[in-house]
Structure 1
Amino acid sequence: MTENITSKDGTTLAVDVIGQGAPVILVGGAFNDRSTVAGLGAELASAFTVVTYDRRGRAGSDDRSEDYSVANEVDDLAAVVEHVGGRASAFGHSSGAVLVLEGVMRGLPVDRVAVYEPPYCADENQPRPPADVYDRLKARVAAGDRDGAVELFLREAIGVPAEAIAGMKAGEGWAFLADKAPSLPYDVLVSAPGQLMPFDRLAGIGVPVLAVYGDQTAPNLAEATKAVAATVPGAKLMVMPGEDHGVLQRPAALARILTTFFG
């Protein structure tokens, strides 16, 4: 059953809770909502109380803030943790992985953290988006140009080739992506693709961390995941053979890994 909770600034968040056991919060990345992590949640529900939520500005959650900020989303995660008793473990995928790590670095009561392919910039020589991509993305969202915002994010923030974007626009899934357009500036802000990952802050994390990537994923995502594992004290690194960034569509193997780690 979906419940609505209220974040610090009055934003309403849609939250689903299933299963039984210690609480584990699942946080999706760009273009994700609670429906895209539901398959993973179903796999975990026999062992844990699984909590999924729509990040602000997506699906069943609104956004009452006057502007974008990472603090808004950290406050949202804090509200979800409070909703399930005040402490929880968390899994994040892509920008959701960065958000979970950011929450821990800001002191949220999270006991264990698993991340899948956080899109940090781990190497100063790695290509980075133009410095103004956030401002242009926000302007397209403000103008109501959802298609343009999605195209800009895919092309310049992620680096998807133009021909691939054209194919995506012709597919049935484009409307789902366009629906998430108002939340894309949050993904850019939290992941900060134009900046180097915060090595010093990550080195201060004091809870168990598992960093996972697929061996078929983009090289920059693999390097970022390895860098998280190498930087967080005591963190573990795991590679999933045959997997890429779309692991949430095939959740069974990931669920087995998470069950062992969170158990």
Structure 2
Amino acid sequence: MTDRTNGSLRVNGATLHYEVRGQGPLLLLIPGGTGGAASFDGIAADLATEYTVATYDPRGMSRSTLDDPDAEQQVAEHSDDAFRMLELLSPGEPAQVFGASSGAIVALHLLTAHPERIARVVAHEPPAVEVLPDAAEHRALLTRVQDTFRTQGLMPAMAVFSAGLKKDGAAAEPKAELKLPPQAAARAEQTMANLPYFVGRIVPGFMSYAPDIHRLEGLSDRLVLAGGQDSRGELPYRSAAFLAERLGTELQHFPGGHIGLTTHPAESGELLRKVLHTGGPTSLL
């Protein structure tokens, strides 16, 4: 088992908890949603046989504390946190970066802000809905989510949010009960503890973010956009697919849905390794 080193990094307005495994070129894993460093436990050890794998709890999540718990959250500040991690762990050397969901939005901003520090970014389903032709509809969704959170509370707001992420016009399909790996199931309590901050601060700050598409066009050779095989048509998948088409690149498909790295860790880790090696879409076949 690969040894893990924990540390803390002081950044503007927060103290970040981070974890490092392995040796080799730096691979920074940026979690999304309510996940923290632990959300990559299923893939980090295997990748650490080849990379120095670093991940962290985003500011305000889990063990990364905010100086001001009520501070508004901005993508640019979270991106600067990721940049500080690169400066700490890979000074002067370009790094590989993987971001999931809201972490993928951070990774996109990091690429445009500090391209000299990035060898490659793999962005899995960034919910950058401002790039979509029907962005106004999704702005209205965000308003409904925040209004519901304020007037009815957390779980009704989550219900509105989840319904808005589903496939366009599709009735909710019955799904088999999702069985999470034991490590992921054990994190459920922390995930729930992070939900109010996620809904109240991350969702409005991140889903209103518009990536610099013109800048990304000039950096597209270092960017792989990805989506889940099982989340085709859902809102974060649509954003990733639209960006890939706009940039003239091929969308990489990972196993599972939006949280495929949690539900299919072995297959996802293997595919991520292949993508990092080839620099573009590939498959497990």
TM-score (norm: length of structure 2):
0.73
The residue identity in structure 2 corresponding to 1:120 is: A
Higher helix fraction: Structure 1 or Structure 2? 2
Which SS does the other structure have where 1:129 is aligned?
helix
2:38 to 35, 59, 65: 35
Map of 1:94 onto structure 2:
101
| Pair 1:132–1:262, CA change in 2 (3 A) | closer
For residues 259 and 19 of structure 1, the distance between their equivalents in structure 2, rounded to whole angstroms, comes to: 14
Can you list the C-alpha shifts for 1:21-61, whole angstroms capped at 9, x where unaligned?
Answer: 10001111112111111212122111111001000111110
| Pair 1:155–1:173, CA change in 2 (3 A) | farther
Matches within 5 A, 1:1-263: 1-7=5-11, 9-65=12-68, 66-86=71-91, 87-107=94-114, 109-121=117-129, 122-125=131-134, 128-131=137-140, 133=142, 137=146, 140=149, 147=155, 150-151=158-159, 153-155=161-163, 158=165, 175-180=189-194, 181-184=196-199, 185-192=201-208, 198-205=212-219, 207-220=221-234, 221-232=236-247, 235-240=249-254, 243-249=256-262, 250-263=264-277
Superposition CA RMSD, Å = 3.5
Which SS does the other structure have where 2:87 is aligned?
helix
Residues 147 and 178, structure 1, Cα contact 8 Å, conserved in 2:
no
Residues 22 and 53, structure 2, Cα contact 8 Å, conserved in 1:
yes
| Pair 1:45–1:10, CA change in 2 (3 A) | same
Runs of 4+ in 1 over 6 A off after TM superposition: 160-164, 171-174
| Pair 1:79–1:27, CA change in 2 (3 A) | same
The residue identity in structure 1 corresponding to 2:87 is: E
TM-score (norm: length of structure 1):
0.79
For residues 135 and 106 of structure 1, the distance between their equivalents in structure 2, rounded to whole angstroms, comes to: 31
The residue identity in structure 2 corresponding to 1:68 is: Q
Which SS does the other structure have where 1:226 is aligned?
helix
The residue identity in structure 2 corresponding to 1:74 is: S
Q: Which runs of 5+ in 2 are unaligned?
A: 179-184, 278-285
CA-CA distance at 1:206 after TM superposition: 5.4
| Pair 1:139–1:69, CA change in 2 (3 A) | farther
Can you list the C-alpha shifts for 1:159-191, whole angstroms capped at 9, x where unaligned?
Answer: 599999xx99xx997643331121442243223
| Pair 1:134–1:226, CA change in 2 (3 A) | same
For residues 208 and 243 of structure 1, the distance between their equivalents in structure 2, rounded to whole angstroms, comes to: 24
Residues 19 and 54, structure 2, Cα contact 8 Å, conserved in 1:
yes
User: Percent of pairs identical after alignment?
Assistant: 22
CA-CA distance at 1:90 after TM superposition: 0.4
Count of residues in Structure 1 that have an aligned counterpart in Structure 2:
251
Of the structure 1 ranges 77-86 and 128-137, higher mean CA displacement relative to structure 2 is found in 128-137
Residues 97 and 120, structure 2, Cα contact 8 Å, conserved in 1:
yes
| Pair 1:125–1:190, CA change in 2 (3 A) | closer
For residues 213 and 237 of structure 2, the distance between their equivalents in structure 1, rounded to whole angstroms, comes to: 16
For residues 215 and 28 of structure 2, the distance between their equivalents in structure 1, rounded to whole angstroms, comes to: 22
Q: Which runs of 5+ in 1 are unaligned?
A: none
| Pair 1:218–1:175, CA change in 2 (3 A) | farther
For residues 30 and 62 of structure 1, the distance between their equivalents in structure 2, rounded to whole angstroms, comes to: 16
For residues 202 and 124 of structure 1, the distance between their equivalents in structure 2, rounded to whole angstroms, comes to: 18
